[in-house]
Amino acid sequence: MSAHPSYAWAGRISVAVYAVLFAAGLVYTVRVDHSLPLPSHNYMIEIKSLMDDGFVAQAIDELRAATLLDQLNPQAAELLADVAEQQGDLPAALLGLRRQVRRDPEDAPLRARLANTLVRVASVKNNVGAEQHHLQLALTNAQTAIMLDPLDAAGHAALGNTYMALGQRAEAVDQYREALALDPDSAEARRGLGRARVEEGS
């Protein structure tokens, strides 16, 4: 005997709703390694234990999975960006920073940091099209950082780095000087200005 049509439609709707919720990251059926369920944040303890034990590469892998699967947890994205940057894992750092910017698009220092990471990613790309794509994204994020907070030296230094990568040295120098006027201790701006002067003299 076949099921009543209303029951069949109810079943289809339930599956559709579940699929939408899963895609949005609101339903979790996947577990990260070591069988720690999401969205419980207990897995962060294990990830930090991996780092404390010196297994940094494994911790980055866990954090990458946690960032993708548990989009409601800000700790995973923040820690991923920090640890990956320290280890020179640019793709993982970029993933962590992008997740953070999506969560808080009006954070000017975060935008500046994302711009700097995009410039670094562009510098190691062999594909010219991909390099230009990352530099354009860096330009957008650096300009947005300054728009959000014109007095933040980090945004001006990031824009200077982006201009340098684009070959616009004069514009870069202007931004580095603006950053140093706002924060004379800005190491990023000092490095950039020194690099610009070396390139100018070569």
- The answer on pLDDT for 28 being more than 50 is no
Domain limits of the chain? 28-103, 108-202
- For 10-19, the pLDDT digits (tens) are 445 444 444 4
Partners of 32 in beta bridges:
36
Number of other residues whose CB lies within 10 A of the CB of residue 177: 15
Q: What percent of the chain has pLDDT over 70?
A: 73
- The answer on pLDDT for 20 being more than 50 is no
Helices and strands, counts by H and E, the chain: 10, 0
Quote the DSSP letter at residue 32: B
CA–CA gap between residue 113 and residue 186 (Å, rounded): 14
Peptide bond into 91 cis (omega under 30): no
- For 38-49, the pLDDT digits (tens) are 444 566 677 777
pTM over 0.75: no
Q: Identify whether the C-beta of residue 155 lies closer than 8 Å to the C-beta of residue 142.
A: yes
- For 93-119, the pLDDT digits (tens) are 998 899 899 889 999 999 999 999 999
Topology of domain 28-103, per CATH? 1.25.40
Domain 108-202 has CATH 3.40.50.300: no
